[in-house]
Amino acid sequence: MEIADVLKFLSPSSIEVKMALLSKFSPLQPGVMKQNWRYNKKFGYDSPSTSEFWDLFQKSDFRCAICSSQYRISVDHINEDNTDHRLENLQILCSPCNVSKANDGVKNPDAQYVIMSEFRVYIKKYGEVPTTRQLAKHIKSKHEFKNRPLSGYLHLYHFLVFRYNNPFQSKQIEDCISITQQIIEVLQISSDEALRAIISTCTPSDHYTTRSNWRNSKRYGNNAPEGAVFLELLVEAGYKCEECSNVSKLSFDHIDSDPTNHLKENLKVLCFTCNRKKSRKGIKFENKKAKIFDFMLDYFHNHGAIPPIKRVGEIFSGDTQSYLGGEFYFYKYLEKRFNDI
Ligand SMILES: [Zn+2]
Ligand SMILES: [Zn+2]
C-alpha cells in the first residue's frame, strides 16, 4: 500500500500521525520497564537495572534481533524463561516477532495491515465491497492465517466498510504525508513499518474488548451495553472523536461522569486526549514527544548538530530546569538517529 493512499483513507490529523510514529518507534523508558518487571510475578519480581536495559537497546541499535524492525521493540528472554535475566539471555524483539514467538506463529501479528490492504485490493479487483466471507476467502488464498482471518477483527471490517462508504478528508493531508516521509528519514524506518504504526493507531480498537472489560470491572458496575450499541455509537460519530475529530485512540465516555450509567444517550465517542482532558488527570504536557522531535529537527537544520539536553528541557519549563523527565531516553534515542544522518 502507498502511504499517501492510506493516509487519505484514514485521514488523521498531522499531530496524530506524528505521535503514532514517534511513540511506536521509540524505545520504552527503561525506568518504567524496570518497575513493571519488579512488580510482576511473571518476571520473578526482579529486573535488570535501568542502565542494563538501555545498553541492550543501544547495542542493538534499537532494532529487532530477528528482522531489524524498530516497531514497538521490547526485551525478550531468549530461552523463554522470563525470570532468567542474565544479559546473555536477553535480546531486543519487535512486537510482531514477539507475538510470533509467543504464539508459535499462530496469531498473525500483521493482521490489521493484511486485512486493510486486502480489503482495498478486493475492491480494486471486483469493484465492490466484499462481505466478511468473501474477504476472509480472499485473504486465505494469499496469506497464511492459521485461524479465520477476520476472527477478532470484525470491528476492523466494519470500520473499513464504513470509511469506504463515508470517505472524509482531513485538511492536513498534505502535511501528514510530508511528516511521515520526514520521520521515516530521520528514524530510518521502512515505509511498511510506518504504515503498520499508522494503521494500528488510526483504526478503532475492538469494542467487544471494551464491552468485556466493562463487564469485568466493578468501576463499570460489571455491566456494559451490547456490542451493537457500541457499533451504533461509532457509526453515528463517523468513527471520529465527537469533540475534536481525531481518529486515533477512540474510547467511550460517560457524559454525566457516572461510569455505571450505560444508557446510549449518556455515551459519547471521545479520543484519548479529550477523554484525559475531561478526567481529573488532565494532561500536563500534551504530545511531548512531538514537541521534542520538532525542536530537535529545527535545531538540527539550523545548527547542523543536535541541541544540548538542557535546551530541550527548556521547551517544557520556561527556565533552565530540565523537565524532560522520562523523555530523557527519547532524547538519547533521537540523538543517535540524528548523529547517523
Ligand atoms: Zn522483528
Ligand atoms: Zn478528541
Q: What is the pLDDT along the chain (341 residues), one digit of tens a residue?
A: 899 999 999 999 999 999 999 999 999 999 999 999 999 999 999 999 999 999 999 999 999 999 999 999 999 999 999 999 999 999 999 998 988 888 765 567 788 999 999 999 999 999 999 999 999 999 999 988 777 889 889 999 999 999 999 998 878 899 999 999 999 999 999 999 999 999 999 999 999 999 999 999 999 999 999 999 999 999 999 999 999 999 999 999 999 999 999 999 999 999 988 988 887 665 556 788 999 999 999 999 999 999 999 889 888 875 544 578 788 999 999 999 999 88
Of all ligands present, the nearest one to the C-alpha of 246 is 2
β-bridge mates for residue 90, sequence order: 77
β-bridge mates for residue 250, sequence order: 271
Centre of ligand 1 to C-alpha 48, Å, is 22
- The C-alpha atoms of residue 253 and residue 276 are separated, in whole angstroms, by 10
Centre of ligand 1 to C-alpha 173, Å, is 30
- The C-alpha atoms of residue 254 and residue 233 are separated, in whole angstroms, by 12
Q: Which helix (H) or strand (E) holds 325?
A: none
Of all ligands present, the nearest one to the C-alpha of 66 is 1
Centre of ligand 2 to C-alpha 22, Å, is 19
Of all ligands present, the nearest one to the C-alpha of 96 is 1
Query: Which positions ≥6 away from 124 have C-beta within 8 Å?
Result: none
Residue that is written with C-alpha cell 504504526 in the block: 197
Query: CB-side exposure of 181: number of CA atoms within 13 Å?
Result: 8
Centre of ligand 1 to C-alpha 222, Å, is 38
219 CA to centre of own chain: 26
Q: Which helix (H) or strand (E) holds 90?
A: strand 90-93
Q: Which helix (H) or strand (E) holds 292?
A: helix 288-303
Q: Which helix (H) or strand (E) holds 10?
A: helix 3-10
Centre of ligand 1 to C-alpha 62, Å, is 11
Centre of ligand 2 to C-alpha 218, Å, is 26
Centre of ligand 1 to C-alpha 131, Å, is 32
Of all ligands present, the nearest one to the C-alpha of 76 is 1
